[in-house]
Chain A
Amino acid sequence: MNSNIFIVIAASAIFYGTPLFFAALGGVFTERSGVLNLGVEGMMLIGGVTGAWASLHVGGSAWFTVVAAICIAMAAGAAVAALHAFLCVTLKANQTVAGLSITIFAGAVGLSSYFANIWKVAENPVTRQIRKLDVLGLADAPIVGPLLFNHTILTYASWVMCAVASWYLFRTKIGLQLRAVGESPQTADAMGISVVKYRYIHTMLGGALAGLGGAFYSLAIVPTWVDGMTKGAGWIAIALVIFGFWRPGLTLLGAYLFGALQSLGTVLKSRSYDIPGDVLDALPFVMTIVVLVLVSTRFAHKRIGAPAALGVPYEREER
């Protein structure tokens, strides 16, 4: 029963959707503060390569190594995001240009590949990887086993994070103030909320989550370092933020939808369906375009509530 094609696709949708969700959740935080981050792809790759390096070089127990790798990947993503925040918040640069530059600078054939070369991570497969767990011994239970009880620890963590993020954004004072900064920084500033601080912190939080998503590729999905291994997942994550209407719950659903599309190729090929692999590989990106076209209509813009100040640098003393 558990080899039913729908269950296989659903289970792998959750697996492939997990890194997309991490990166997209980061995007939700960043964009809610009014900063557009097109550097996600670059930040994911930096997270991927530093995570792979750490899993090869940090000693100790397997658990310790994996935890250390995750922390290092998140710190690396946050560091790149700090650069983005410096460009966008402090220097008030054009956020689109800054984000694109970061992806080009840090991404494939950029800094991440350079690190991979000098650290020689590509030559060694990652042995201490993030494996799927058999929770409560229920991994083989019919239907619910593969769907709920046979995931990596990070997938379970992502569910907790989704709930916490919703609570943080919509029930806490800091979340309210964060949303105010993204909607109307003038208002927030006049009420004594530091626009700069909120934007820095949430851009870096977004970068850390992108780094985590990247590490999921190099430690769980592939699991080794391959140049440009995220293959555009960062761009899908950016579309997912919009698809999820800047809300964590909807973003999680969207991530699994795109995860399903990504896994479709692997699953169908293994069952010798005769569909060209290139067509299947292109599906998530076709879907991305469709989603972006749909949400770009004027109606959608009025309804779904993009942060009003998204992409706009805040200047106080304009005259």
Chain B
Amino acid sequence: MTNSAVRMTGVVKRFPGVVANDGVNFEVLKGEVHALLGENGAGKSTLSNILTGLYRPDEGTIELNGSPVVFGSPKAALDAGIGMVHQHFRLVEPFTVAENVILGNPETPFVIDTGTTAERVAELARRYDMAVDPNAKIWQLSVGEQQRVEILKVLYRGAQVLILDEPTAVLTPIEAEALFRTLRAMTAEGRTVIFISHKLDEVMSVSDRITVLRGGRTVGTVNTRDTSTRELASMMVGRSVEFSRVVRQSPADPGNVVLSLTNVNCEDDRGRQALHEVTVTVGRGEIVGVAGVAGNGQRELAEVIAGMRSSTGGTITVSGNEVPNGRARAAIAGGVAHVPEDRLHTGLAAGHSVEDNMALKNYRTPLLSRFGLLKRNVITSQAGDLVSKYDVKTPDTATPVRLLSGGNVQKVLLAREFSTNPRVLIAASPTRGLDVGAIETVRGRLVEAADSGVGILLISEDLEEIMSLADRIVVMYEGRLVADIPASQATREQLGLLMGGAKMEVTR
């Protein structure tokens, strides 16, 4: 084909213990938006890191515009016209937008002329319909604006091929729409866009063609207009996956209250009131979903119940016993388990081994320690049992948690939390960032726990998740619970309105 922009053939990349890319074939045509679709760990990021010169492939060839190339560094790839917009931005926070854009550009003069540079950057931004002030400092910008700076950086360097790694993960729907318009403006000029994602809907709406990766191999490339989300989903996971309301083995018992909050108030990190008179109960075996747009007090709610944050009023009881304010150890002793949204920082000690992390909650018990000395052999064997019970994929229990994939990290966390036989589980965004298979596993574990009588407060932004798992749904808006609805009566539309702050009679 003459109009091929990038062609990667038989690319293999091995890391210690894993083959991240196992003979990937991938071809992108000039002027198209080409989606690279796959679960977490399918090899998308590795493939793009090879294309941008960060990793060197162990085998395989790369052709750019029909001629073979070898990139020794990101600079070499950039010079050849391949630019990457990373999922985690590569920006220098104290610098201005313009300074970030000109950074490392060989055409920047030795003495920087701030005015001219800002003007050129502003002009480029206007051309692609991106609103951003070239003289603003990065830390002053919203996430959406920071992403525009990333795009400007690669455009300024004259990139003909742009790779965007899960660009919408951090965007609001409106910002995502604006991004899609920008991408269209770029392909209209003949530039090529590689769009990495695991979201089916946006891949369908933005791309011309789609290549699906699974387990480090190419499953196939399809034309977007000839395919469907259902077909893509089954290509992605290798089987068809349906999300529907789960079937419970034993029904919830909302009358038998295990967790009860009465008029709870608390402040956020900046001292502003984050929870306003929150009152909610969770019954034995009941899953109560907390829906809401992030930042409406969900994090503070979870932390108050887990004893990580002091309330400024109200009471919290677990199985009828009041939990002392702001004491995590007392909350644990009272039967509260907590799966925080930030798994690797709040949930686990990322650099510690799987077995140490699994012992973190009950190391004080006579089972795991005596006279303050740890029983290493018991800790190891406990971890071994949990690893096999929860199907954690890890080379051994001495492996640091940070080396595991997202799904396995979450399994370690769930295993530890359930190992203390809690009465109440607070789960904050438990499936965020996980791939489809891991999501299924985690949800299965939650339902299993509820069946065994644990009361679960499921805090999630994912309406699909809440509607399929919860027995009852409450909605948080600006620190208040604005609705309490049985899940069987809730509709997406109604919840979406409530999350957006629309007024409604609370059905209680």
Q: CB-CB < 8 A to A186: which residues of B? A: 90
Q: Is the CB of B111 within 8 A of A172?
A: yes
Q: Interface residues of A: mostly helix, strand, loop or mixed? A: helix
Interface size on B, residues (CB 8 A): 30
Which residues does chain A contribute within 8 Å of B102, judged by CB atoms?
173, 176
Set of chain B residues within 8 Å of A171, measured between Cβ atoms:
111-112
Residues on A with beta carbons closer than 8 Å to the beta carbon of B15: 319
Knowing A171-B112, A174-B110, A187-B103 are in contact, say whether A192-B91 is a contact too (CB < 8 A): no
Are B110 and A192 in contact, CB atoms less than 8 angstroms apart? no
Contact with B along A102-143 (1 / 0, CB 8 A): 000000000000000000000000000000000000000000
Can you list 18 contacts pairing A with B, beta carbon distance less than 8 Å?
Answer: A171-B111, A171-B112, A173-B109, A173-B111, A176-B95, A176-B103, A177-B104, A179-B95, A180-B104, A183-B94, A184-B91, A186-B90, A190-B54, A190-B86, A190-B90, A191-B103, A192-B74, A192-B76
Query: Which residues of chain B have C-beta atoms less than 8 A from A188's C-beta?
Result: 92, 103-104
Q: Give the complex CA separation of A319 and B54 in angstroms.
A: 12
A59 an interface residue at 8 Å Cβ cutoff?
A: no
List, in ascending order, chain B residues with CB within 8 A of A180's CB: 92, 95, 103-104
- Please measure, in the bound complex, the distance between the C-alpha atom of A128 and the C-alpha atom of B159, giving whole angstroms: 59
Tell me the complex Cα distance, A153–B322, Å. Answer: 75
The CB with the most chain B CB atoms within 10 A, among A179, A189, A305, A319, is that of A319
What is the CA–CA distance of A180 and B108 in the complex, to the nearest angstrom?
15
User: Are B75 and A192 in contact, with the CB atoms below 8 A?
Assistant: yes
Q: Which residues of B contact A192 (CB under 8 A)?
A: 73-76, 78-79, 104
The chain A residues found within 8 Å of chain B, CB to CB, are 171-174, 176-177, 179-180, 183-184, 186-193, 305, 308, 316-317, 319
Q: Considering the chains assembled together, what is the distance between the CA atoms of A183 and B105 in angstroms? A: 18
Known: A172-B111, A183-B92, A191-B104. 9 other contacts (CB 8 A): A171-B112, A173-B110, A176-B95, A176-B99, A176-B102, A176-B112, A183-B95, A187-B103, A193-B75
Interchain CB contact under 8 A, B54 and A179: no
**Neighbour of A316 across the interface among B54, B78, B95, B105, CB < 8 A:** B54
Q: Evaluate contact between B91 and A187: CB separation under 8 angstroms.
A: yes
Q: How far is the CA of A308 from the CA of B138 in the complex (A)?
A: 14
Inter-chain contacts of B100 with A (CB < 8 A): 187
User: Quick one: which of B90, B105, B111, B403 contacts A187, CB cutoff 8 A?
Assistant: B90
CB distance from B347 to the nearest CB of A (A): 21
Chain B residues with CB under 8 Å of A173's CB are 102, 108-112
The 10 closest A-B pairs by CB, nearest first: A192-B75, A191-B104, A187-B90, A190-B90, A183-B92, A184-B92, A192-B104, A193-B104, A173-B108, A180-B92
